[in-house]
């Protein structure tokens, strides 16, 4: 889960950056404006809710909704912005799922790939984590793809196996390379225009930092792209200690506490 958070922090300065004449992998990994955003807050909220649910589906939907709303109140993030409809959902406890296909379901799902075993279980709980807001089939598919790739990476699957999973079981087209995607890619917030690209960045990488840099190089919704890529890359490569330390320095103590509890849960 920390890999997703690192991706969010590294990608945050570039989310709406239209000033660069070309998108590149050569940039400062952690700069003065590198900060956690709503992606990190919701990733940790989902992780805490699922730990609290303890595998009990009957409690999961309520816990997910309550925990995400609690975390959002604690971290309003005026500069790290919650999306429009999601923000309305956060502030209206009577509002149910609203049919979103946005990439928020995929950016907050990384804990699922660590907390559950077996692809069927991972995909099932990815759907549970998504459907509280993103109950559109594309919103669910994006969450399942991100969590499934992470699970496969952490259990030793090859990149060929992960690619086959995404194309054959999930149904995403991964035929384009990053060099083919990059020239026309722009800020898009749908799962179907974010998750395949984030997975491609991982598939073309040779290490954790390289995966993050390649995801940022696409431009677009950079913090969410790198969040998804970073979650998978952590499971495949681990995280270099200097990168881990710099990211943790940017988190408040209570969010680090959720991470610490999560690591203990995963280590069982």
Residue 3, classified by CB atoms within 10 Å of its CB into exposed (0-12), middle (13-18) or buried (19+), is buried
- In tens, the pLDDT along 59-109 reads 999 999 999 999 999 988 755 478 788 999 999 999 999 999 999 999 999
Residue 18: pLDDT band with limits 50, 70, 90:
very low
Please tell me the class of the 2-262 domain: mainly alpha
User: Which is higher by pLDDT, 140 or 27?
Assistant: 140
Domain boundaries, the chain: 2-262
Q: pLDDT at position 23, please?
A: 65
Residue 192, pLDDT above cutoff 80: yes
pTM attached to this predicted model: 0.95
CB-based contact 122:170 (threshold 8 Å): no
Tokens 């952590």: give the residue.
Answer: 234
Q: pLDDT at position 109, please?
A: 98
- In tens, the pLDDT along 108-163 reads 999 999 999 999 999 999 999 999 999 999 999 999 999 999 999 999 999 999 99
Those residues whose C-beta lies under 8 Å from the C-beta of residue 30, and which sit 6 or more positions away, are 9, 10, 246, 247, 250
């Amino acid at each position: 889960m920390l890999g997703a958070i690192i991706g969010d922090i590294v990608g945050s300065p570039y989310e709406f950056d239209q000033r660069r004449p070309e998108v590149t992998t050569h940039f400062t990994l952690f700069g003065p404006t590198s900060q956690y955003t709503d992606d990190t807050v919701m990733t940790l909220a989902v992780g805490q809710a699922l730990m609290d649910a303890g595998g009990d589906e009957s409690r999961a939907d309520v816990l997910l909704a309550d925990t995400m709303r609690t975390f959002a109140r604690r971290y309003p993030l005026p500069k790290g912005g919650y999306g429009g409809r999601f923000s309305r959902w956060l502030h209206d406890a009577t509002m149910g799922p609203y049919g979103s296909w946005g990439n928020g379901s995929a950016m907050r799902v990384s804990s699922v790939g660590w907390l559950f075993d077996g692809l069927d279980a991972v995909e099932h709980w990815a759907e549970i984590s998504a459907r509280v807001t993103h109950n559109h089939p594309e919103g669910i598919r994006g969450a399942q793809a991100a969590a499934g790739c992470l699970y496969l990476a952490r259990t030793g699957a090859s990149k060929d196996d992960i690619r086959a999973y995404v194309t054959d079981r999930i149904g995403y087209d991964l035929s384009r390379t990053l060099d083919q995607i990059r020239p026309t890619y722009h800020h898009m917030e749908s799962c179907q225009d974010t998750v395949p690209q984030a997975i491609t960045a991982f598939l073309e990488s040779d290490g954790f930092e390289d995966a993050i840099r390649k995801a940022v190089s696409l431009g677009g919704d950079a913090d969410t792209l790198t969040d998804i890529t970073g979650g998978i890359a952590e499971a495949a490569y681990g995280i270099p200690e200097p990168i881990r330390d710099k990211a943790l320095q940017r988190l408040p103590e209570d969010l680090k506490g959720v991470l610490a509890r999560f690591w203990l849960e995963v280590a069982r």
